[in-house]
Amino acid sequence: MVDSKVVNKIGQPEQPDMSRRNLLKSVGLVGAAAVSAGTAGAVIAADSSNQQAATATSAAQSIPAREALEVLTAAEVETLEAICDCLIPSDANGPGAREARAVHYIDRSLASHNRADRQNYMIGLNAINEFALQTRRRAFHALNKDQQNSILRAVQENTLTGFMPSGAAFFNMVRNHTIDGTFCDPYYGGNRDFIGWDLLRYPGVRLGVTEADVAQGASLPPNHQSAYDHAAYLKSADYMGNDDHA
């Protein structure tokens, strides 16, 4: 059964706790190259209709073609992509989590280091989509952004049931994984075309910097290189994987 109080509550657009600009500040340069971005504040971002109209064409052009899935189903990906797009949307400042293919990172991670979270994703994504169908008669990904944000707010505040271990825990997990997928090293499947690093003005991985580089600071031109584009990292990975080394 759907709680009528919840239905009434999510019928109203919610204001975001944190702007996109503040989100980028909270991630910072220190976490830009990391696989995990750690914790951040609430990052549900509201898109105005004007912003959506202004960026729809450019965003559609930059969304990558769908790739083979490792763990998630096609239906789960539709719901998850919509959630990630609410958390870090494209706007006048540039592309967001959808274009950075954060979902591709999450899918790959659920087949590897985040495999323990797979069941929670299955249950949580289904709960969100079923709630959308019951209250709006449309799948979650087909709702407008205000409706999606309102449902996510209810999940974050533990107003909705059907999550493991709770709605708030599910929200925090997806939020953190979305940040990971947007700002991680592209080697791990997200941060397509270095979108996340460019948003942060992170100049990229460098094995050494000159005094001139330091003087330029954030103005240093990005090199658009993964850590694994450097031979030193590849040699280190080979060394760690070689059981015969001394």
- Residues 46-63: pLDDT tens digits? 343 444 444 444 444 555
| Per-residue model confidence (pLDDT) at position 234 | 59
User: Domain boundaries in the chain?
Assistant: 4-202, 205-246
Lookup result for tokens 């450019």? 58
Confirm whether pTM is higher than 0.85: no
How would residue 151 be classed by pLDDT, with cut points 50, 70 and 90?
very high
How would residue 72 be classed by pLDDT, with cut points 50, 70 and 90?
very high
| Per-residue model confidence (pLDDT) at position 64 | 53
Residue 184 carries which side chain, given as an amino acid letter? C
- Sequence-separated (6 or more) residues with CB below 8 Å from residue 225: 204, 205
- Mean pLDDT of the region 145-157: 97
pLDDT tens for 120-149 read 999 999 999 999 999 999 999 999 999 999
Q: Does residue 44 surpass a pLDDT of 80?
A: no
Question: What SS3 string covers 79-141?
Answer: HHHHHHHHHCCCECCECCCCCCCHHHHHHHHHCCCCHHHHHHHHHHHHHHHHHHHHHHCCCHH
pLDDT tens for 1-21 read 444 444 444 444 444 444 555
- Sequence-separated (6 or more) residues with CB below 8 Å from residue 188: 35, 105, 108, 109, 180
| Per-residue model confidence (pLDDT) at position 76 | 98
Q: Does residue 25 surpass a pLDDT of 70?
A: no
Q: Which contacts of 159-167 are long-range, i.e. CB under 8 A and separated by 24 or more positions?
A: 159/3, 159/6, 159/9, 160/6, 160/127, 160/128, 160/131, 161/127, 162/123, 162/124, 162/126, 162/127, 162/130, 162/131, 163/120, 163/123, 163/124, 163/127, 164/119, 164/120, 164/123, 164/124, 165/120, 167/124
How would residue 26 be classed by pLDDT, with cut points 50, 70 and 90?
low
| Per-residue model confidence (pLDDT) at position 62 | 53
| Per-residue model confidence (pLDDT) at position 173 | 98
| Per-residue model confidence (pLDDT) at position 202 | 84
Cα dihedral 222/223/226/229 (nearest 10):
-170
DSSP state of 202: -
- Mean pLDDT of the region 215-233: 80
How would residue 245 be classed by pLDDT, with cut points 50, 70 and 90?
very low
